[in-house]
Amino acid sequence: MSRKVKLIVFLLFSFSSYCFSQDTIRDNSHFIEPEFMIGKVIPMSNDFSFPSTGAQKTIALNYGFTNNDTTKWGKYYNHAESGFMFLYSNLGNNQVLGHQYSILPFVSFRVFNKLKSPFRVKLGAGVSYFTTYFDSIGNPQNEIIGQQFTWDVKAFLYKSIYKKGGFNLKLGIGLSHESNGHTKLPNLGVNSPMASITGQFYNQKEDNYFHPNRIKRQNVSPKNYYITLEEGFGLHEQDETEGPEMGILKPVYSTDLSAAILFNKHLKLRAGFVYRYYQIFYDHIIKTETEGLIDNPHWSASNVNFYIGNEFLMGHLSIDVLLGVNLHKPFYQKFNPENGLGITLQKLLLTRIGMNLYLINTHKLPKHNLFVGAHIKANMAKADFTEFTLGYTFKLNK
């Protein structure tokens, strides 16, 4: 297993251990949840060589806890659930795509709480292992899976259709995405819309999931203001537009400065600027003496962007998402000259999703805090690189 994958696995287990180690969670609030999903891998290329696939079938076993603590985020989300998902998937073409095994920490919380039986949103991010992946000689058709280990991200919406005692039967729909974050090419990624049927078995006959009370939200805590400095290190593999040779892995360095407002101790809305430097871009400019970029190769290999984002703070853990606009990225503009809607959005917009692990519980509102993170950064929906970050936050008000 590569050093990068070991670090991802370590961070994921660390996130989950912090999530589960809250002192106020009752010992008898856990559940087991078998699940069956069915869907279809969406072709991500117009090339006729994209492998044909049948239905994608997934069997999952979820094990988790209901958050029965009294913290702000616990109350706000009607005592959210967190745990692990263990999954096996058949992608519909065993010869080319092989089999998939995954493990994902997840968080699940209620939405549309005014309904008698509210919906639940479930978000998971973890690691997948594929038994078959791209090989230029042995398996050239498999351009969607570039290596054995990839990121795995899932987002589902569930509706309960039958509840009795400690059992809850649900139907769900959602999206599943697997990608290595552009650290090994080819990397078209696995993108699958899926439907789900699942049954939760609780170890108590009446769990908070079925509780008729709704949390009243009119008492909102005072806002808090933060400045955050974040340093990032990413890994990006050279593709056909970035140099004469394929398969070269080079670092991406980033510095992120942002300001944030924290609402009710759990929603951290922030905006900021990021500077990034791509070693791959610089090497290409120097080697080819690229016209229009060679006069200032360091600046031409740089990226400046402005973004807005949100962190869902849950004690030591946060789920971190952002959407940004590229203010300066000349290399990508020059080597992607097409003007179609898809490529235009890739040149203009960026996205990032991941998780952060804080040293001090964020609900204590510390003046100073440190965190580490793991993220996938993308040009709109096209993976750009996998990034690991170290950050510092400073609370401005008392």
Q: Which tens digit of pLDDT belongs to each residue from 362-390?
A: 989 999 999 999 888 888 877 788 899 99
Report the pLDDT value the prediction gives residue 27, as an integer from 0 to 100.
46
Task: Compute CA distances 89 → 37, 42, 99, 148, whole Å.
Answer: 9, 15, 6, 14
Domain ranges of the chain: 3-16+25-210, 224-395
Report the pLDDT value the prediction gives residue 272, as an integer from 0 to 100.
97
The token pair at 384 is 């750009």
- Of 7-21, 191-205, 256-270, least confident by mean pLDDT is 7-21
Hey, do 3-16+25-210 and 224-395 end up sharing a CATH topology, with the first three levels equal?
A: yes
Task: Compute CA distances 325 → 17, 224, 309, 347, 374, whole Å.
Answer: 35, 26, 12, 9, 21
Q: Which tens digit of pLDDT belongs to each residue from 180-223?
A: 776 677 777 788 999 999 999 987 655 444 444 444 554 455 68
Q: Which tens digit of pLDDT belongs to each residue from 154-166?
A: 999 999 998 888 8
Report the pLDDT value the prediction gives residue 10, as an integer from 0 to 100.
47
- Of 75-84, 162-171, 353-362, 371-380, least confident by mean pLDDT is 75-84
Distance linking the first and last C-alpha atoms of the chain: 46
Which pLDDT band holds residue 47 (cuts at 50, 70, 90)?
A: low
Whole-angstrom Cα distance, residue 10 to residue 148?
18
Distant-in-sequence, close-in-space partners of 354: CB < 8 Å, separation ≥ 6: 125, 320, 373, 374, 375, 376, 387
Q: Mean of the per-residue pLDDT values for the chain?
A: 82
DSSP one-letter code for 8: H
Q: Which of 79, 75, 27, 21 is nearest to 204 (CA)?
A: 27
Is the pLDDT confidence value at 393 over 70?
Answer: yes
Contact 329, 348 (CB under 8 A): no
Q: Which tens digit of pLDDT belongs to each residue from 109-150?
A: 887 766 666 788 898 888 899 998 888 788 887 877 878 888
Q: Which tens digit of pLDDT belongs to each residue from 215-257?
A: 455 445 568 999 999 999 998 877 666 655 666 788 999 999 9
- Region 79-102 average pLDDT: 89
CATH code for residues 224-395? 2.40.160
Report the pLDDT value the prediction gives residue 166, as an integer from 0 to 100.
84
CATH code for residues 3-16+25-210? 2.40.160.20
Which pLDDT band holds residue 17 (cuts at 50, 70, 90)?
A: very low
